[in-house]
Structure 1
Amino acid sequence: MSNVFWENLVKLLPILLLSVLKNSECSVSSNEYMKREHSLIRPFQGVGVNLPYWDFLGHTMVTSNYIRLTPDLQSKSGALWNYSPVMTRNWELHVTFKVHGKGNELYGDGFSIWYTKERMQPGPVFGSKDYFSGLAVILDTYSNHNGPHNHQHPYLSAMINNGTWTYDHDRDGTHTQLAGCEVRFRNVDFDTHVSIRYENDILSVSTDMENKGEWKNCFVVNDVELPTGYFLGLSATTGDLSDSHDILGVKFYDLDINVSPEEIASRSSILPRAKTYEPPREHKDDPKPGMSNAKIFFILLFGMLITIAGAIFAISYFKEKNSRKRFY
């Protein structure tokens, strides 16, 4: 082949490559596309004052590379809320985050990803209000966890609420959780990710916590009903224990295919619920811990001393009484 042929081929390669990329982008966007008004992409704009499409409160700090919901200090809370309601029937949310701190054995508390009717309302549930209406996906890092559990921390769980149930912090929400799985994301050297997909009343949560570039399933729950018109948010809190909770990116994808505006509008009036949801169990206090061996030893020793003292007193009393009888 002539040199002219190869020169023309080299010139055409960039054009062909660009065409392939454009076609692949179109094929992806035909089924799902990212909506800017519900997303956050670095570098973040409006550093320190305003953030396009989002509000923040509490101890939240915005930089160009990360949004820190809480610093690694005690008794801090912060939140980040999207101010555009989600008018999408089916959607997927990807959150990139980083949780890190100085504590090696004791740290906390964690953060939550919200899809709720309420927004910008601080409260006791990882920095947001209790008795919420909607969905909470909670990443609980509290190392000194409350009550007996059959899982380790950090722990990822989901809760569907219609505004009538409380999140039981004393039991890490296990009495009202929809589903959950153990996760390992704290103090790693790479970005960590969580995916929340809601499609045709199926809620699925996946994670990428191992820097493999692939999603690992956490749980899938059928028959979950969520209204349209709710708001996306993220919040975090620290107590006696602390961590830095950083949000590195939020991407929201519209999955609607052949969904009519009438169907989207009709979904705005339903109440959040999960048909397979286990009803909240009664809150029961932890059983009182049994006595230690040392405490049992001292109680027995004290009882023996009282018994010996009583016996000595009784013997002395009867001896004195008998000696008095001899003088009469």
Structure 2
Amino acid sequence: MAAGAGGLLSAALLLLAVAGPRPAPAELTDGNSEHLKREHSLMKPYQGAGSAAMPLWDFQGSTMVTSQYVRLTPDERSREGSIWNRVPCFLKDWELHVHFRIHGAGKKNLHGDGLALWYTQERLMPGPVFGSKDNFHGLAIFLDTYPNDEATERVFPYISAMVNNGSLTYDHSKDGRWTELAGCTADLRNQNHDTFLAIRYSRGRLTVMTDVEDKNEWKNCIDIAGVQLPIGYFFGASAGTGDLSDNHDIISMKLFQLMVEHPPEDENIDWTKVEPSVSLLKSPKDNVDDPTGNFRSGPLTGWKVFLLLLCALLGIIVCAVVGAVVFQKRQERNKRFY
């Protein structure tokens, strides 16, 4: 038994070494202007405020440009609006800082629906997903303020990420749980201070962080490896209201280029033709609706792999021990007849 215990310990340590620790939150830029890409950034003073013309950006729907903010929707029912960069982004590694405000007269759950930030092939295409197109190609970050699924255990407002190759549909009735990669709760509505969100994409790693607590520090929300996004897509923001409403304001969107080294094999890839995808995850289309309301909503991290393997190993050991005991009992019983 001592040798067996030693073998179990060695196997566990080996599994731990293979799984590795969970990666630490990515370091975000300090917002310096050295690598600011102005052609992809929206900042005050907005050129074209109060008119239908705005250099580098197009907007539609209920969107209104003022001297202080871009209001995607007013606090009125059944409104939707969006704003989109005209210039496709050909950066492999980037970081987007968004200064926003969601506020309105509604109390408790009497407000909605939310705001979405996009890096997609499509632009200026209204639709049912927070004012923009469903079955999109690319990345979406949803700032959802209203729980449509009454059975949900999430605390709203809730931030989630979705990568789509055009084949997936965002399910509002389940608040996007079928297609969510990961998410977090963030108290971002009706705050009397500035609220920020940062999206970082670098070497296949997607990181989303928030600064909504007036502490002037980033808080980790989403961290996913194995994300593949092509270059040449467009940045945008959209929002929508239904029977409930809110003001959804974009104050600034600042895009920074990240100076990151890539392995030599990346030079042989045509990044304009990469299909949006996430490795280490089964397709969200394969998720089965669970009667308990549980869906797979996060990446299979190293620790989860380790725990699954450890449980399987312990199960095998338990079965082996039980089998040995049963075999020994039978041997002892057979000896009584001789």
Alignment match, 1:130: 134
Identity %: 49
Query: How does the TM-score come out when normalised to structure 1?
Result: 0.74
CA deviation digits over 1:90-129, x for unaligned, max 9?
Answer: 0000000000000012110001000001000000000000
Partners of 1:264 and 1:243 in 2: how far apart?
Answer: 47
Which stretch shifts more, 146-155 or 189-198? 146-155
Change (3 A) 1:120 1:264: farther
1:113 aligns with 2:117: yes
Quote how far apart the aligned CAs of 1:30 are: 10
CA deviation digits over 1:112-170, x for unaligned, max 9?
Answer: 0000010000000000000000000000001x432422211000000000000100111
Alignment match, 1:294: none
Partners of 1:44 and 1:257 in 2: how far apart?
Answer: 31
1:160 aligns with 2:160: no
Change (3 A) 1:266 1:103: same
1:177 aligns with 2:180: yes
Partners of 1:28 and 1:66 in 2: how far apart?
Answer: 23
Contact 2:61–2:82 (CA under 8 A) maintained in structure 1: yes
Alignment match, 1:192: 195
Alignment match, 2:80: 77
Residue ranges of structure 2 left out of the alignment (5+ in a row): 1-28, 294-338
CA deviation digits over 1:227-263, x for unaligned, max 9?
Answer: 0000001000000000000000110001134569x94
Quote how far apart the aligned CAs of 1:41 are: 1.0
Alignment match, 2:227: 224
1:96 aligns with 2:99: yes
Higher Rg of the two aligned structures:
1
Alignment match, 1:248: 251
Partners of 1:235 and 1:155 in 2: how far apart?
Answer: 16
Quote how far apart the aligned CAs of 1:213 are: 1.0
Partners of 1:132 and 1:104 in 2: how far apart?
Answer: 32
Change (3 A) 1:153 1:30: closer
Contact 2:148–2:172 (CA under 8 A) maintained in structure 1: no
Partners of 1:31 and 1:126 in 2: how far apart?
Answer: 31
Decide which of 38, 41, 46 is 1:39's aligned counterpart. Answer: 41
1:269 aligns with 2:263: no
CA deviation digits over 1:197-229, x for unaligned, max 9?
Answer: 001100000000011111000021001000000
Query: How does the TM-score come out when normalised to structure 2?
Result: 0.72
Partners of 1:34 and 1:254 in 2: how far apart?
Answer: 7
Give the residue type in structure 2 aligned to 1:216.
K
Partners of 1:29 and 1:76 in 2: how far apart?
Answer: 33
DSSP 3-state at the match of 2:90: coil
Contact 1:203–1:224 (CA under 8 A) maintained in structure 2: yes
Partners of 2:95 and 2:268 in 1: how far apart?
Answer: 16
DSSP 3-state at the match of 1:266: coil
Change (3 A) 1:168 1:283: farther
Report the number of matched residues.
Answer: 259
Alignment match, 1:236: 239
Contact 1:97–1:191 (CA under 8 A) maintained in structure 2: yes
Which stretch shifts more, 249-258 or 191-200? 249-258
RMSD: 2.4
Change (3 A) 1:31 1:107: closer
Change (3 A) 1:31 1:99: closer
Change (3 A) 1:30 1:233: closer
